[in-house]
Amino acid sequence: MSDQAIPAELADVSQAVARCLPGGVPLPRAASGGPVCLAEARAYCRALARSHYENFMVASMLLPHALRQPMFHVYAYCRWADDLADEAGSPQLGLAGVRWWREELHRCYAGEPRHPVFVALAETIALFDLPIDPFDDLLTAFERDQTATRYPTYEEVLGYCRYSANPVGRLVLSLFGYRDEERQQLSDCTCTALQLANFWQDVARDLDKDRIYLPLEDMERFGYSEQDLLARNENDAFRQLIRFQVERTRELFRQGEALRDMVRRRLRLEIDMFSQGGLLVLRMIEARGYDVLGRRPAISKRRQATLFLRRLAAQFLPFGR
């Protein structure tokens, strides 16, 4: 990868993102200063994806062999975009990083990839005829993270999810060969529900970043002020507020359930894993009386493994059907 591909003001940010990869795997560079070779780019994306085990879709070895490497490429794109925004150190640099990444995305679709992630992603885009819109929409979400820290209405929160979560589901469907609007809309329900579950799980973490995803209109409705939240006041009004969000999020999961019976078995397992994981987060929030400010409700690795094995049995073993 040529150093000229990175704007000077983003050089430090890009290097910091590259160093985020555990194990010290370096960002590959071509000796000629041009794009790296495809083999190196593919290996880099594979190493990056395998180093982040929180993503079930990437980590799962039950993906069809032909889709594993393409999924690594998509994941690497998302990981870099996310880190460029979050590791920048300021909204201005974050916006600059996302703007640069969008320029590289459009260069990729124009047949001129430079960054190793895009060298690999170009192969996947061509093989699966992936549209640019989901990739571009994700960058819109990262831009919003740099400029918006409050959401007055629930509809505006859903609007954010339309860019931050739904494109991922649509890309996965495209990789499996599903492009119809019905499946995409069902996927949107599940992906939005997953994003919302993460918001309610991470109220305290987001507050540390001065971000509030709880709709301000709902906070007012339950008599819970922003000052209460900043003071981390877990009173009855807060518990009722979180309960309301949990219930409407569970309904979104329910609306997306039909998708699992409209896709191939291996994708069905992944959808089940994501949905059951999100629903488990909601149950954990309920179990602690909707108090999410003191300690984050998190699924342990043991519970993740148990959930995975149960879904595996339900899908593949005769006694699990």
Which residue's structure tokens are 């059951």?
276
pLDDT in tens, the chain (321 residues): 444 456 665 666 566 555 554 445 567 765 455 678 999 999 999 888 887 655 444 445 567 889 999 999 999 999 899 888 877 678 888 898 899 999 999 999 999 998 999 999 999 999 999 999 999 999 999 999 999 999 999 999 999 999 999 999 999 999 999 999 999 999 999 999 999 999 999 999 999 999 999 999 999 999 999 999 999 999 999 999 999 999 999 999 999 999 999 999 888 888 888 898 899 999 999 999 999 998 787 665 555 555 555 554 454 444 443
Q: What is the CATH number of domain 148-321?
A: 1.10.600.10
The domains of the chain are located at 1-130, 148-321
Distance CA 244, CA 197 (A): 12
CATH of domain 1-130: 1.10.600.10
- Residue with structure tokens 């990262």? 142
Both tokens of residue 124? 């996947």
The secondary structure of the chain, three-state, reads: CCHHHCCHHHHHHHHHHHHCCHHHCCCCCCCCCCCCCHHHHHHHHHHHHHCCCCCHHHHCCCCCHHHHHHHHHHHHHHHHHHHHHHCCCCHHHHHHHHHHHHHHHHHHHCCCCCCHHHHHHHHHHHHHCCCCHHHHHHHHHHHHHHHCCCCCCHHHHHHHHHHHCHHHHHHHHHHCCCCCHHHHHHHHHHHHHHHHHHHHHCHHHHHHCCCCCCCHHHHHHCCCCHHHHHCCCCCHHHHHHHHHHHHHHHHHHHHHHHHHHHCCHHHHHHHHHHHHHHHHHHHHHHHCCCCCCCCCCCCCHHHHHHHHHHHHHHHHCHHHC
CA dihedral (144, 146, 147, 151) positive or negative: positive
1-130 and 148-321 agree in CATH topology:
yes
Q: Name which of 137, 108, 127, 133 is nearest 175 in CA terms.
A: 127
pTM of the entire structure?
Answer: 0.85
**CA pair distance 232, 37, nearest whole angstrom:** 51
